């Protein structure tokens, strides 16, 4: 009888230890509440996150699948809060969501206020109508109308280029901003803008959707990384990194890259310090 009690107690102790170890391995971040991870996204940045058909409430895309997989590691479901790109970080700040996933680049000025992990390597490109022959490089945008998505780094890139063009005595661009990536591409298609600055991922996807209508005349030499942003918290950023590394180690990220026809080495990123 005593031996049975000892065995039962020992088994219970082992179970408790295993359960504790599993809980520690799957650190639950504080931004997951009641089994729900609220995610802020623009929902207009294919192939990262987008509605496949107008009016679709369910989003698709590589980032969507990845964040869903992260939430699953925490035993949670995702709830996507859609807003314009420029409102995403303010929404995070006001606690409307716990994480931002929207093809948002890792930038030092953003890291001053938020924590983030890098998850996808990418490069900016120029996109023009396929019939355009006089734009081969950024300087060729002098005197032309350029459309960019509001609130993105492309606005800053365009402003920096305009400053240089002006300093060199060249005509500046006319920069027009729009709330989403789809609207930007539309301006090129209808001839209201000569070009846009966007990412290679988006340009490749749009090119596949619009065969023979747009082209990439120039790829910028610098590489950037898309990031997942959260409010500053040492514990939460550690939990996010652990969960992301788990997806990478398991091969799940490789499967998602293949699903969305993205480069196999796109997840070879350097994490911000």
> Per-residue pLDDT tens for 176-201?
999 988 899 999 999 999 999 998 99
- What is residue 54's predicted lDDT score, i.e. its pLDDT? 78
d(CA 180, CA 159): 19
Q: Which residues pair with 41 in a beta bridge?
A: 82
| Average pLDDT across the chain, whole number | 90
d(CA 132, CA 115): 41
> Per-residue pLDDT tens for 11-60?
434 333 333 333 344 589 999 999 999 999 999 889 999 998 877 889 99
Q: Counting beta carbons within 10 angstroms of the beta carbon of residue 174, is it exposed (0 to 12), middle (13 to 18) or buried (19 or more)?
A: middle
Q: Which residues contact 8 (CB under 8 A, 6 or more apart)?
A: none
d(CA 199, CA 204): 9
d(CA 192, CA 249): 46
The mean pLDDT of 80-106, rounded to a whole number, is: 96
Q: Distance of CA 195 to CAs 98, 157, 209, Å?
A: 35, 13, 18
The share of the chain scoring above pLDDT 90, in percent, equals: 79
Q: Please, which pLDDT band fits residue 92 given cuts at 50, 70 and 90?
A: very high
Q: Counting beta carbons within 10 angstroms of the beta carbon of residue 222, is it exposed (0 to 12), middle (13 to 18) or buried (19 or more)?
A: exposed
CB-CB contact of 83 with 38 (8 Å): no
- What is residue 26's predicted lDDT score, i.e. its pLDDT? 57
**pTM of the predicted model, to two decimals?**
0.77
The mean pLDDT of 232-248, rounded to a whole number, is: 97
Angle at 205 between CA 199 and CA 210, to 5 degrees: 120
Q: Is the pLDDT of residue 9 over 50?
A: no
> Per-residue pLDDT tens for 110-146?
999 999 999 999 999 999 999 999 999 999 999 999 9
Q: Which residues contact 203 (CB under 8 A, 6 or more apart)?
A: 125, 127, 214, 216
């Amino acid at each position: 009888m005593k031996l049975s009690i000892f065995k039962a107690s020992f088994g219970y102790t082992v179970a408790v230890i295993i359960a504790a170890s599993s809980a520690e391995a799957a650190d639950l971040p504080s931004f997951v509440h009641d089994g729900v991870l609220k995610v802020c996204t623009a929902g207009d940045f294919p192939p990262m996150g987008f509605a496949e058909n107008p009016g679709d409430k369910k989003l698709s895309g590589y980032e969507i699948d990845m964040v869903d997989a992260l939430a699953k590691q925490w035993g949670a479901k995702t709830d996507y809060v859609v807003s314009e790109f420029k409102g995403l970080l303010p929404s995070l700040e006001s606690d409307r969501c716990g994480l931002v996933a929207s093809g948002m680049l890792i930038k030092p000025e953003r890291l001053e206020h938020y924590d983030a992990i890098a998850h996808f390597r990418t490069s900016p490109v120029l996109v023009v109508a396929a019939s355009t022959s006089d734009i081969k490089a950024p300087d060729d945008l002098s005197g032309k109308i350029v459309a960019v998505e509001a609130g993105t780094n492309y606005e800053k890139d365009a402003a920096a280029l305009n400053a240089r063009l002006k300093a060199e005595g060249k005509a500046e661009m006319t920069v027009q901003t729009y709330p989403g990536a789809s609207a930007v591409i539309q301006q090129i298609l209808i001839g209201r803008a000569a070009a846009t600055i966007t990412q290679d991922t988006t340009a490749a996807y749009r090119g596949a959707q619009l065969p023979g209508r747009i082209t990439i005349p120039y790829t910028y030499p610098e590489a950037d990384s898309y990031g997942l942003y959260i409010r500053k918290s040492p514990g939460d950023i550690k939990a996010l990194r652990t969960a992301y590394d788990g997806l990478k180690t398991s091969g799940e990220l490789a499967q998602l890259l293949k699903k969305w026809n993205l480069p196999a080495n796109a997840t070879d990123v350097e994490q911000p310090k």
